[in-house]
Amino acid sequence: MSDAGGVPSPVQEMLDELHTRVRDVDAGEVATYIPALGKADPALFGLALATQDGHVYTAGDADTGFTIQSVSKPFVYALALHDRGLNAVLRRVGVEPTGEGFDALRLEAGTGRPLNPMVNAGAVVTASLVDGDDHGQRFQRIIDGLSAFAGRELRLDHEVLASEERTGDHNRALGYLLRNAGALRGDVNEAVGVYFRQCSIVVTARDLAVMAVTLAAGGVNPVTGRRVVGADTCEHVLAVMATSGTYDFAGEWLLRTGLPAKSGVSGGLVAALPSQLGIGVYSPPLDRRGTSVRAIAACQELSARFGLHLMRPAQRTTPVLHRLLRGDAVSSHRTRRHLEREALRRDGRAILACELQGDLGFTGADTAIRAITDELDGVRWLVLDLHRVNRMEPVAVNLLDGFAARLRGRGVATVVAADAGSGPLAAAEASFASLDEALEHCEDALVAAGRSARLDPDAAVPPEEQDILRDLPAEMLDALTPLLEERRLARGQVLFDPGAAPDEGAASDETLYFVVSGGLVAQVMAGDPPEPVRIASMGPGTAVTKLVLGDDRIAYRVVADEPTVARVLTAAAVKRLEDTHPQIVEALHWAMARHLAARLRQADARNQAMIGSDARRGD
């Protein structure tokens, strides 16, 4: 037997393997200029990877605490952008790479701004920009905000803080230079003090991965489900991390890993891939530019093995247009009478259904529109089926809506089939939950457009025009007609529900319902709690049967879709017919077999047309 439940995760195994390999990298030096950091064990190595759905993989010392140091900078920058807005923050702190180290003293000529928020000078100013009336409130905002990014309450390491404060003269000097240049306002010691405390917050590699994935996910922490900052802010922070996150190593870092990142002097590092994942690493030994040696090795390997480079060109991509279906070859699940079927076969090419798939951003929508435009000759109804679309950007809604509006101006109606919640198109004529209902809508419109008196959907269909009966000899029809009992159904009234109370005995198997006017729908119950889902519909001139056969495993409910008149052949009437006109019963059996065969063929026609259009995907 299988023991599939406990199957190990291939990602976990790959991460473990990578951790084992990188653990042996034995280079770099633990930073000592903050004496408390110098005590860190150089062998420590924690690795964590958090996914956008909130799963966290870890390897090694991923739950070992350390002070966050400079890795705090992008998150505090995010809080400042959130609290002040991009332009207000840009006026105080630039976003240009310095080409220099973390302690660069250079300020922008003319404005006195620090060059970016990832160097210490920029970080001190950034910390002064978060909400708060005084430095105490601002630090509270910072530790609360970082806790929200991490999804747990973070705390200070007072020993490291005391050490930072004792040895922080370089940062104090920066503070005075900033105030001298007009870049920093208020008390320098208080401003630098907030920055010291920010750097002394204790995190783990696991925390950093969650913080990073919160940026990657557009500002909602996927573990807690809580929004921390807005999506625009994340875009901006990640862009600054890409150009300046690892100081004078930022260019080569981005070239080699393709991941926006931020390193810190205690050996921590965050990296993020937008819409995908966050990585947190902790390993104290640093290279000469201040980045953790094992973090560089781990991220380069992760990027290469997992294909995480931001600039990587996509692999094979399927066409955005999954299938094109035309109304003369594919029809809805509506069972239609003979005359309607003929009209659809003749004119159905005026209905074009396009199944789109994949990501619909600018490129997807643009490609789809160009491909559809090439197929529009003679089309009057365009169905856009969005069920296979995985992602729908606002620009795609915008472009498709513009397309629908332009089509409307040329006499082409657009009908959308999409899950609830997919952005509806304002210029569409109608929107349905399924492709089937959308097709049915277009077919109805096509039949109505070419309608003759005999096809008037509101007129009653007499027995001799019923599909099942129309080949019956006149004398049989005359004998049968008086046995048909009229039944009037209100909209929503259930005609039968074999699933609810199974009929017994052969007699009831043979009950037939002829639709005279109105229409019926067949439904199955699905979902939890179960709700009726429409799977087919039947118009005037068609029949539905209540056959209960051998290995029943499924049953329709049949419900009136609108005020409906049906004629019913009851079990008792069939009994009578068997005595008086056995040949009519045989003819009915035969006709039902034909009818079922035709329905099967209809289902298979869909198959074939779909297979056919699948085949053209090779283009």
CA distances from 218 to 77, 227, 229, 399, 552 (A): 15, 9, 8, 23, 50
Give the residue with the Cβ less far from a copy of itself, 82 or 380: 380
Least Å from the CB of residue 601 to a copy of itself: 6
Whether 282 sits among the annotated catalytic residues: the reply is no
Least Å from the CB of residue 319 to a copy of itself: 9
Check residue 606 and give left, alpha or beta (phi > 0: left; psi -120 to 50: alpha): alpha
Q: In terms of C-beta density within 10 A (0-12 exposed, 13-18 middle, 19 or more buried), how is residue 548 classed?
A: middle
CB 376 within 8 A of CB 346: no
List 70, 128, 244, 537, catalytic entry? 70
Residue 418, SS3? coil
| DSSP letters for 543-574 | EEE----TT-----EEEESSSEEEEEE-HHHH
How many Cβ atoms are within 10 Å of 443's Cβ, its own excluded?
24
- Cα 59 to the chain's mean position, in Å? 29
Q: Provide the residue type at 7 as one letter.
A: V
List 57, 247, 513, 556, catalytic entry? 247
Least Å from the CB of residue 455 to a copy of itself: 16
Q: In terms of C-beta density within 10 A (0-12 exposed, 13-18 middle, 19 or more buried), how is residue 585 classed?
A: middle
Q: Provide the residue type at 90 as one letter.
A: L
CA 492 – CA 329 distance, rounded (Å): 31
- Cα 448 to the chain's mean position, in Å? 38
Least Å from the CB of residue 259 to a copy of itself: 10
Q: Is 195 annotated as a binding residue?
A: yes
Least Å from the CB of residue 557 to a copy of itself: 12
Q: Is 120 annotated as a binding residue?
A: yes
Q: Is 265 annotated as a binding residue?
A: yes
Report which of 136, 122, 110, 115 is spatially closest to residue 80, judged by C-alpha positions.
122
Least Å from the CB of residue 426 to a copy of itself: 13
* Packing angle, helices 169-180 and 188-199, rounded to 10: 130
Q: Is 171 annotated as a binding residue?
A: yes
CA 150 – CA 568 distance, rounded (Å): 67
Give the residue with the Cβ less far from a copy of itself, 40 or 544: 544
CA 55 – CA 173 distance, rounded (Å): 43
Give the residue with the Cβ less far from a copy of itself, 316 or 492: 316
Q: Is 33 annotated as a binding residue?
A: no
Q: Is 607 annotated as a binding residue?
A: no
Give the residue with the Cβ less far from a copy of itself, 412 or 516: 412
Give the residue with the Cβ less far from a copy of itself, 190 or 393: 393
Least Å from the CB of residue 160 to a copy of itself: 30
Give the residue with the Cβ less far from a copy of itself, 89 or 192: 89
CA 65 – CA 60 distance, rounded (Å): 13
Whether 265 sits among the annotated catalytic residues: the reply is yes
Least Å from the CB of residue 366 to a copy of itself: 5
Return the bridge partners of 526, or none.
Answer: 531
| DSSP letters for 362-421 | HHHHHHHHHHHHTT-TT--EEEEEEEEEEEE-HHHHHHHHHHHHHHHTTT-EEEEE--TT
Report which of 264, 245, 244, 203 is spatially closest to residue 34, judged by C-alpha positions.
264
Q: Provide the residue type at 456 as one letter.
A: D
Give the residue with the Cβ less far from a copy of itself, 51 or 64: 51
Give the residue with the Cβ less far from a copy of itself, 405 or 565: 405
Whether 575 sits among the annotated catalytic residues: the reply is no
CB 261 within 8 A of CB 299: yes
Which tokens is 102 given? 């973390």
DSSP H stretches of helix in 200-230: 205-216
List 73, 93, 192, 331, catalytic entry? 73
What angle is formed at CA 301 by the lines to CA 295 and CA 303, rounded to 5 degrees?
100
Q: Is 252 annotated as a binding residue?
A: no
List 30, 265, 320, 330, catalytic entry? 265
Whose structure tokens read 């279906």? 325
Whether 70 sits among the annotated catalytic residues: the reply is yes
CA 301 – CA 303 distance, rounded (Å): 5
Least Å from the CB of residue 176 to a copy of itself: 23
Give the residue with the Cβ less far from a copy of itself, 155 or 312: 312
Provide the CB-side half-sphere exposure for 488 (13 A, CA): 2
List 95, 160, 188, 195, catalytic entry? 195
What residues are labeled active site?
70, 73, 195, 247, 265
Binding-site members for substrate are 70, 120, 164, 171, 195, 247, 265
Binding site: what residues are annotated? Answer: 70, 120, 164, 171, 195, 247, 265
